[in-house]
């Protein structure tokens, strides 16, 4: 058996003009994860990440913190289902009100609108221009997972995959054979820089752990 460790990127810049950038806290989360791996003797055989800056930077900072010198591999299939700005735009169209953080509304209300739009997208009630549906998104990740686990060269490997919450939720749905209705429930609880472990061997997969954050000190434990 080998282990696929799915890591959510560190905290991004939620509500900023450009979501796809790690906050200072997100950078600290990535470094702390690498330092934890080094302290516990965890050395991934390969590291993959999605195409977004926050995913690539998380992987880079983690590798530096762990003292690993192996380069990370970019894979387009590990992208998120949509960018923060796209979800905000879809939320305004769907709900008919501003979700900008400078609109004068309370942050909690904006977060609820953001979450409601993600749930509506999962239910097929909202389309995000240029983006896949949940079914298509799952299919893309299913193909990646299948090809990746079937191409296993040796047992006992540990491979790290830095991606986003939507992708991790979709992959867990695939591993557990869960319906689309379960995706949002998983999405909303996935923490920044959390670790989810999947065991695999010759194309067979099983979930070992989900959304672990015990490697992070309390002050670095965040959801958005």
Contact 217, 194 (CB under 8 A): no
Structural contact between residues 180 and 211, judged by C-beta atoms closer than 8 angstroms: no
Comparison of pLDDT for 109 and 165, the residue scoring more: 165
User: Residue 202 has what pLDDT?
Assistant: 79
Q: Are 213 and 36 in contact (CB under 8 A)?
A: no
pTM recorded for the entire structure: 0.95
At residue 152 the predicted structure's pLDDT band, cuts being 50, 70 and 90, is low
pLDDT digits (tens, 9 = 90+) for 82-138: 998 899 999 999 999 888 777 778 888 888 999 999 999 999 999 999 999 999 999
Residues of the chain with CATH 3.40.50.1240: 2-79+133-220
| Burial letters 75-101, b for 16+ CB under 10 A, else e | bebbbbbbbbebbbbbbeebeeeebee
Domain covering 2-79+133-220 assigned CATH 3.40.50.1240 in the classification: yes
Q: How far apart are CA 200 and CA 193, in angstroms?
A: 22
Residue 156 has pLDDT above 90, yes or no: no
The whole-number pLDDT of residue 102 equals: 72
- Least confidently predicted of 100-104, 115-119, 168-172, 180-184: 100-104
First to last CA, the chain: 33
Mean of all residue pLDDT scores within the chain: 93
């Amino acid at each position: 058996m080998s282990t696929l460790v799915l890591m959510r990127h560190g905290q991004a810049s939620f509500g900023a003009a450009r979501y796809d950038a790690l906050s200072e806290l997100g950078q600290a989360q990535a470094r702390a994860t690498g330092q934890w791996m080094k302290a516990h003797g965890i050395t991934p055989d390969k590291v993959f990440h999605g195409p977004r800056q926050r995913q690539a930077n998380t992987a880079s900072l983690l590798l530096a913190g762990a003292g690993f010198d192996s380069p990370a591999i970019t894979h387009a299939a590990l992208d998120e289902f949509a960018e923060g700005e796209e979800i905000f735009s879809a939320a305004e169209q769907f709900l008919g009100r501003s979700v900008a953080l400078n609109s004068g509304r309370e942050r909690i209300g904006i977060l609820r609108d953001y979450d409601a739009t993600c749930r509506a997208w999962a239910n097929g009630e909202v389309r995000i221009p240029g983006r896949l549906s949940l079914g298509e998104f799952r299919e893309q990740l299913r193909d990646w997972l299948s090809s990746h686990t079937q191409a296993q060269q040796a047992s006992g490997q540990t491979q790290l995959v830095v991606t986003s919450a939507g992708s991790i939720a979709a992959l867990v749905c695939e591993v557990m054979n869960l319906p689309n209705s379960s995706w949002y429930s998983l999405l909303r609880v996935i923490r920044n820089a959390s670790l989810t472990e999947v065991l695999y061997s010759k194309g067979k997969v099983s979930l070992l752990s989900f959304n672990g954050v015990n490697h992070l000190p309390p002050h670095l434990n965040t959801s958005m």
